[in-house]
Structure 1
Amino acid sequence: MRWLVNEAGIYCSVPARKEAVSVEHRTARLAFARRYTQEAYDAEFWNSVIWTDEKSFSTTAAKARVCWRPPNTRYAKENIQEQRMIGRSNVSFHEWLWAGGLGDLTLIKRNLTVAKYVDILNGMLPSIR
């Protein structure tokens, strides 16, 4: 049976995984990106930008599923397995970078609250100056 499906150009693959994003959020992200790709934002502007990110590593196992799809359709909407932020977070980190180089990697204990985030940002400032 599998060879018949393969002959039709459909193969068993692991689906791409990404965060679920609403249409409104997707539209807002695109508008934000378009706003900052204008020529008015030159190298001097981008040299003053600080990029930050948080990453959590979870103890729950990934539930890999398979999907049957034609070649070169990995990122087609119907072939993407959306991720929900479910699971117990084991360890989280915050990192940052800018034109001057990499910043510090900070361990986040428990949940990242507004107060903890402000403390992390305040800790970044001496490194930037």
Structure 2
Amino acid sequence: MPQHLTEAQKSWAIAKLEENRSLSEVAAELNVSKSCIFYVKKRWQEQQRLRRPLRQGVGKVSNENEDNALVEYIRQNPFATAVKAREQALFPGSLRVAQMRLKQSGLKNWAAARKVFLTAEHKHRRVQFANEFLIHGEEFWNNVVFSDEKTFQSCNSGRLRVYRPRNTRFEENYTLTSTSGRFSVNVWAWISVNGPGMCYQIDGRLTAEHYINILDNVMLPSVTEVFPDNFTFQHLLNPSLITAVKSLLFLPP
């Protein structure tokens, strides 16, 4: 039996009730329950309205200052959790509300990136390299082999997360430079326009002697399989390793 009446039906019901028709009679005419007509009559008598009042939403649990304090704490401590930020900023809302406020401010929780920050010397050398080889075309770069080392580590606490705006993944405030892991694996690898090449696990620390051994016994055999005629090997080493390699090869510093 339908229990929802239009305003026209409610007006008709009120008019019939004022003509001393009974609740049962009006309900039967409209094919609704007696209680439905009873509440229509009650609302009209008490509030002089036919519609139900609109439901009022729950008021905002925090004011602008409290929201700003929460957001500012995270901006100053991007690696803090929402739980910690809520406690330190004395935010009155629930954890879910705190997370919503942070998201509304443009701060989203991401897995933190790891990178080694560049010193002024690193940046100078990279710009110098770019300017030096800027004139070379595609034919030259198609025969260039790049290589680098990488340390993979496991973390006791799992991957750390950070609150940051979009497109700021590698900004210094939001990245990690080191970690204390359960174990670490050092690898050396090269890559070219043809795709990834040899990936070699390094036992222990990468010393000058170890690096020369990699060049002779890993890099050259694997690279010449792809570039049998000619290739250019490029690697920007740190200054201390360059000096050590040159001394072993009896080259001038």
Same fold per superposition (TM over 0.5) = yes
Does residue 113 of structure 2 align to residue 17 of structure 1? yes
Q: How does 1:29-44 map to 2 (within 5 A)?
A: 30-32=126-128, 34-35=130-131, 38=134, 40-44=135-139
Bigger Rg over Cα: 2
Distance 1:90 1:103, change over 3 A: same
State whether structure 2 residue 209 is matched by structure 1 residue 110. Answer: no
Structure-1-length-normalised TM-score: 0.68
TM-score (ref. length: structure 2): 0.40
| Match of residue 83, structure 1, among 162, 177, 193 | 177
CA–CA separation in structure 2 for the residues paired with 1:82 and 1:126: 36
Give the number of the structure whose residues are more often helix, by fraction.
2
Seq. identity, %: 26
SS in 1 for 2:144: coil
Q: Which amino acid aligns with 1:105?
A: C
Task: Point out 4+ residue stretches in structure 1 off by more than 6 angstroms.
Answer: none
More strand, by proportion = 1
For the residues of structure 2 that align with 1:90 and 1:42, how far apart are their CA atoms?
39
Query: How many aligned residue pairs are there?
Result: 126
- 5+ long unaligned stretches in structure 1: none
Report Cα offsets for 1:69-94 as digits up to 9, x if no partner. Answer: 55x35348475133236546522211
Amino acid aligned to 2:177: Q
Q: 1:55 aligns with which of 126, 142, 150?
A: 150
Answer 1 or 2: higher relative contact order, Cα 8 Å, separation at least 6: 1
**Alpha-carbon distance in structure 2 between the residues aligned to 1:57 and 1:87:** 9
RMSD between aligned residues: 3.3
Q: Deviations over 1:4-42 (max 9, x none)?
A: 72585344413642324255146325514631562x211
Are the equivalent residues in 2 in contact too, given 1:15–1:74 (CA < 8 A)?
Answer: no
What is the alpha-carbon distance in structure 1 between the residues aligned to residue 196 and residue 171 of structure 2? 35
* Separation in 1, partners of 2:207, 2:174: 31
- Contact 1:50/1:97 (CA < 8 Å) preserved in 2? yes
Aligned to 2:37: none
Distance 2:196 2:99 in 1: 50
Contact 2:150–2:188, Cα closer than 8 Å, also in 1: yes
